[in-house]
Amino acid sequence: MSTEPLLEVSHLTVDITSAQGPRRILDDISLSIAPGEPMGLVGESGSGKSMTLRTILGMLPHGARVVSGEVRYAGHDILTAGVGRGYRSSVRGAGISMVFQEPAIALNPVMRVGQQITDAVAERKRLSRRAAADLAVELLERVGIPDPGRRARAYPFELSGGMRQRVMIAAALAQEPNVLLCDEPTTALDVTIQAQVLDLFRSMQQERGLGLLYVTHDLAVVAQLCTALSVMQGGRIVEQGGLQAIFDDPQHAYTQRLLRSTPRLPAGPLDAVVAQ
């Protein structure tokens, strides 16, 4: 498997303008995602984790602007491709998918979930209606949704929050991305379902080198899934490196606090955890 970076963010700086004037929300963010080197992204609330993911996808909120920096995907600068719908679909077509923090943003309330999962894919792969429906059911099953045939015909409001979150994950995976950006994708899930979803991400990394940038508050999840870690505070990356090295010897006060306050953190070598 090649370890050339799939996604490279260099010196990304973003301002947002409010009534009080411009405010820097991302300051000189650099990170790199290679196949087989999934990266966890942690940091306190408001530190810029979601903004980093949204900037990569060109989905900045109104008033936000990239001041400087670059986002390269498979060697191409994707920020200068211009912001907007065309840009987003071209990036998605090129293989970056995102699982959003709030299912409400990403799901269409008046469309059956099965159709939402396969909508984009059916067109691209020229699937028949029947084949698309089968694919949706298969993906719902893979993310642990019971009775997936029936659930595929449900509308989002008919499903629990945890199920909606899994529908989003299924929709992101349907695109067969090379890079998956995840924003707290398993927070609303109970621990057994969370374990199943983490297993699914892990097998996609191992089987086809899926690149992963994974935002979470849970270092135990990072330990199970990632080999690298970036820690954000106040719009900056304050610590970055191999996961084991950071767990062994955290440099930044925030990282030290986070490690101390994670009760489920495995004590042994990370390899033992990953091998479980």
Ligand X SMILES: Nc1ncnc2c1ncn2[C@@H]1O[C@H](COP(=O)(O)OP(=O)(O)OP(=O)(O)O)[C@@H](O)[C@H]1O
Question: Between residues 16 and 198, which has the closer beta carbon with respect to ligand X?
Answer: 16
Task: Give one DSSP letter per residue of 26-72, joined into a string.
Answer: EEEEEEEEBTTB-EEEEESTTSSHHHHHHHHTT-PPTTEEEEEEEEE
Residue 46 interface partner, choices Mg ion, ligand X, none, CB cut-off 5-8 Å depending on type: ligand X
Q: Which of 13, 32, 50, 227 binds Mg ion (CB under 5 A)?
A: 50
59 with 88: CB under 8 angstroms? Answer: yes
Closest separation between CB of residue 50 and ligand X, Å?
3
Closest separation between CB of residue 89 and ligand X, Å?
22
Helix 113-125 crosses helix 129-142 at what angle (to 10 degrees)? 120
Question: Between residues 50 and 255, which has the closer beta carbon with respect to ligand X?
Answer: 50
Closest separation between CB of residue 237 and ligand X, Å?
12
Count of CB atoms situated within 10 Å of the CB of 160: 9
Residues that bind ligand X (CB under 6 A): 16, 25, 43, 45-51, 61, 101
Residue 159 interface partner, choices Mg ion, ligand X, none, CB cut-off 5-8 Å depending on type: none
For residue 171, which of 233, 238, 122, 224 has the smallest C-alpha distance?
122
Question: Between residues 9 and 135, which has the closer beta carbon with respect to ligand X?
Answer: 9
Tell me which residues in 194-223 interact with Mg ion (CB under 5 A).
none
Residue 145 interface partner, choices ligand X, Mg ion, none, CB cut-off 5-8 Å depending on type: none
Query: Which range in 42-50, 62-70, 192-200, 218-226 contacts Mg ion by CB under 5 A?
Result: 42-50
Question: Between residues 49 and 164, which has the closer beta carbon with respect to ligand X?
Answer: 49
Q: Residue with structure tokens 């947002």?
A: 16
Both tokens assigned to 176: 């067969």
Residue 159, phi then psi, degrees to nearest 5 = -110, 155
Q: Provide the β-strand partners of residue 149.
A: none
**Where does this chain bind Mg ion (CB under 5 A)?**
50
